[in-house]
Structure 1
Amino acid sequence: MKIAFFSTQPYDRTFFERENAQNEFSYQFYETHLGPHIVQAVEDVDVVCVFVNDKVNRHVIQVLAEKGVKVIALRCAGFNNVDLAAAKEYGLRVCRVPAYSPEAVAEHTVAMLLTLNRKTHKAYNRVREQNFSLNGLLGFNLFGRTVGVIGTGKIGKAFCRIMHGFGCQLLAYDLYEDSELKREGLRYCTLEELYAQADIISLHCPLTADTAHLINAASLAQMKDGLILLNTSRGGLIDTLSVIEALKSRKLGGLAIDVYEQEEKIFFKDLSNTVIEDDTLQRLMSFPNVLITAHQAFFTDEALSQIAKKTLDNVKKACSGRVAADDPAFL
C-alpha cells in the first residue's frame, strides 16, 4: 500500500518508518499541508495521511477520488477539517486515532496550568540572570479550587483524575456522563452553573458546529472574575477577540492555550526570523498572564508511537474491508 503523508515533520518520518519495519507500506512525505494548492500532485497512492491543519474539503476529496485514493487517514483524534459528507459521497473511507495517549494531552494541560499559576517560566529566566527576587511571582494553591471541565472523553477524564489528586473540586459538562468519574466525586452540571462556580475551566471537547466559539463574550460574562482558562483541544472553541477583551478588563486572570484558531499558517514552523503578520496572536502574546505552546500537548514518545501504530492498523483495516460497524476510529 502506498501512503502520501502531508504536514510532515521529521518526527513523523521517524515514528512511521519505525512502525514499517516489515516494509508493508510505501511512503511519500510532503512538508506542505494538504489543500487545493497541492492535491493535483497526488499520484499513484492508495491513502493520504493528514494532520490537524490539512484542508480536506469537497474539492480536495473529489480530486483524490479521481486519482484513485481510497482512504483518508487522520493521524489525530479531531476530524473537523474533513468534509465527511463529501468523503461518503465519493466513496473514501475516513479513519482517525481517537485515543492515542489521553494522558499526554492531560498532563500537558496541567503543566501549562502550573506554569501559568506559579510563573515558573518567569522564575527560570530571572534566576538565569541572577535575579532571585520573588516579586511578581505570586500564585495560588490549587487545593480546594473548583475546576470546570468541558468534555469528559478520554482526555478530559485523564485531566479530571489528575486534578482530583490535587484536591480540587470537580464540575463537568458533557452530553454523555461518565459513571466512573461520578463515583470518584465529579459532579455534572449545566454550562451556566459551571461558568458561575469554576475558578479554572479546561476545554476538552471536539470542535463542531455546536461548540464553535463556545467561549465568547456571553459565556465569559457568566464566569468568575480572575478565572483561569485552559484550551488544549481545538482553537476554534474560543472566540479570540472576546478573550482578549476579557484579559484587558481583568475578567480573565490567565489564559493557557496549546491551540489557536488561525494556527495553520504559524504552528509547526520556525518563524524566528520572520515578521508574524497575525495581529491577534501578537496581541495575545503581549499579555504577561497568557501562556502559549504550539500544539505540542500530544508530543510524547508514547503518543507518537501509538499514533503511528494505530494509523497504520486503520489503513490495513480500511484497505482489506475489515472494519467493524462500531469501530470509533472510522467515521
Structure 2
Amino acid sequence: MNHPETKQALRPAKAEYARIATEEAFAPAEMLEMYRKILQGPDPDPGFVSLMGFYMSSQSARARHIIECLQDLGEKRLQHMDEAGIDRQIIALTSPGVQIMDAESAVSFARTANDELAEAVRNHPTRFSGMVAVAPQNPQEAAREIERGIKQLGLTGVIINSHTHGEYLSDQKFWEILEAAEANDAPIYLHPNTPPRNMIQPFLECGLDGAIYGFGVETGMHALRMITAGVFDRFPKLQVILGHMGEALPFWAYRLDYMHRATVVSERYASMKPLKKKPSDYLRENFVITNSGVAWGPAIRFTQDLLGMDRVMYAMDYPYQHAIDEVIALDGLPMSMADKKRFFETNAQRVFRIK
C-alpha cells in the first residue's frame, strides 16, 4: 500500500550523490503488541494514547500505511526507497520505543529490537544502517547496550525518543548513557516524543501535541536542558542529532545566547549555572541537524549558514512522511554539487561511520 501523499508518477532522477535518509523508523510486531497491552491498562500516558493509540486503532489510509510500513524491514521498505531514490536508510526504533515501558520490559525488549534491526542490516548491508535502542529507565543497562549494539551488532548510533516518563538526559542520573555514547563514538539521535503528562494538556486541547508542534517544543526543550545543564562541558566530544531543522533551536540561537547570559548574571535560578561556552557554540560543535519533515530551502540554508555545511544532513522521516516530490524539490536546491553531496551523502557517512 502506498502512502496517500506519495505521487507515484514522479521519480527522482539519478544523482551524482547517494541519498542517505537519516531518520527512518521501524516497529517490531511484538512491540506493537506490548503497546496494545499498555493502552488497555490503567491510566495510560495521555501522549502515548494520542500518538500510538491513534495510529494503532485508526482505519484511515495514513494510519494503516504507517503501521504496515513500520513493521517491514524487507521488500516493501526497499520498494519505497527505490521509488523515492533513497540509497540507504538509517533506521531506528519508532517513538516512544521502549521508553514507555516498565524498566524490566524496556531493558529486555531493547535487546530484542536491536537484534532484529541488526539482522536486517546484515541482510541488506548496502541499503540499511541502524541505531541502538536503549532503556534510559536503567542507565547502567542502557550503557551496556550501547556498547553491545555498536561493537557486537554493528549499529552506528543511538536513538533516544526524548523524555522517559517525563525525565530528561539533563538529569545526571542518566549521564552514564552519555558517557557510553561518547566513549563508543556513537551519536545520539534525540528524536521527538509527545509531551509528558505534566505538560501535554494545553497541546491536546487543540490538537497540537504531535508533529505539528508539540514534538518540536518538547524535544527542543530537552536539547536545551542538556546544554544548560552542562552536558557538553562534561562530555565535549558527544554528538547529538536533532531532526526537523533542529526543533527550531537554530532559529532561536541569538536569543538563547543573550537570555542565558542574562539569566546566569542575575542568579535567578539555582539550576542555571555558567557554561564554558555560549549555547550557540554547543549547537555548532555538538549538534548535527537533519531536515526530516522539512523540505524547505530557506530553513535548510539558514541552518547551514549557522552551523556549517558539515552539520546539516538529509532525512525523510519514513514512513510518517514519505513524499517523493520532496526528494525532487531538495535535489533542486540552489547549492553547489559539493555542498549537495555533503547534505545528502557524506555528512551522514561521517556521522554514522558508513564505509
TM-score by length of 2: 0.32
Higher relative strand content: 1
Determine which structure has more spread, i.e. the larger CA radius of gyration. Answer: 1
Higher relative contact order at CA 8 Å, sep ≥6: structure 1 or structure 2?
A: 2
More helix, by proportion: 2
Q: TM-score, normalised by structure 1?
A: 0.33
